[in-house]
Amino acid sequence: MRTLKYALLGLINREPITGYDISKEFEKRIMANFWHAKHSQVYPELKRLLDEELISVELIIQGEKMEKKLYTITPKGHEEFVKWLSRDEPLGVTPKDVFRLRTFFTDFMSLSDYEKHLHSQLSKHNSKKESLEKSLTAFWNNIPQYGTKEFGDYAVLLGAVMREDSYIAWLYKCLDAIKTS
């Protein structure tokens, strides 16, 4: 499906960007909430996009001698990206989840071990949710206009918070369910 290709094209389409900054986006920024790639996957893919003439590159000298490569989308790349954007795809496989896998097999785990697991998950998902909610406050109650970069940021952040909320609610349901046992 080469989804990474389109994730990169999307970022480069916004404005010229380096491989380093793309990697940061995947590892720390908003994008990390729905896509991920290490720099060791990003750099080879950039080379490939260059080969396919979907992007072009410009060498920038930073300071004394440090070099960085600024990638810019080509008309051909832009065209492919926009075409991909409007493509309708089937749902695809449900994401894997190790904790749900463990829950499925609780008939071989002690009640106290599972309870510990649940509390550990709750704490992890709660802190993730809190940090997401903090980012979301940037929008306060001002929903950005459709068509802006901010709309995308807002929509995916909202989705990430809701996903965490739902996961936390599920964990509480599991806690409830074991309390009667």
Partner DNA sequence: GAGTACATGTAATTAGTTACATGATTGA
Partner DNA sequence: TCAATCATGTAACTAATTACATGTACTC
Considering the complex, state which of residue 30 and residue 57 has its C-beta at the smaller distance from a second copy: 30
Judged by CB under 7 A, the residue of 14, 29, 38, 100 near DNA is 38
Q: What is the dihedral of CA 69, 74, 76, 77, to 10 degrees?
A: 50
The option from a second copy, DNA, none interacting with 142 (CB < 5 to 8 A, set by class) reads none
Instruction: Give the C-alpha separation, 99 to 74, whole Å.
Output: 43
Strands (E), the chain: 55-62, 66-73
The option from a second copy, DNA, none interacting with 18 (CB < 5 to 8 A, set by class) reads DNA
Site for DNA in 92-131 (CB under 7 A): 93, 96
Total number of residues that touch DNA (CB under 7 A):
30
Instruction: Calculate the alpha carbon distances from 178 to 20, 122, 140 in Å.
Output: 47, 15, 38
Instruction: Give the C-alpha separation, 39 to 116, whole Å.
Output: 35
Considering the complex, state which of residue 37 and residue 157 has its C-beta at the smaller distance from DNA: 37
Judged by CB under 7 A, the residue of 14, 44, 53, 76 near DNA is 44
Least distance to a second copy, CB of residue 69, Å: 22
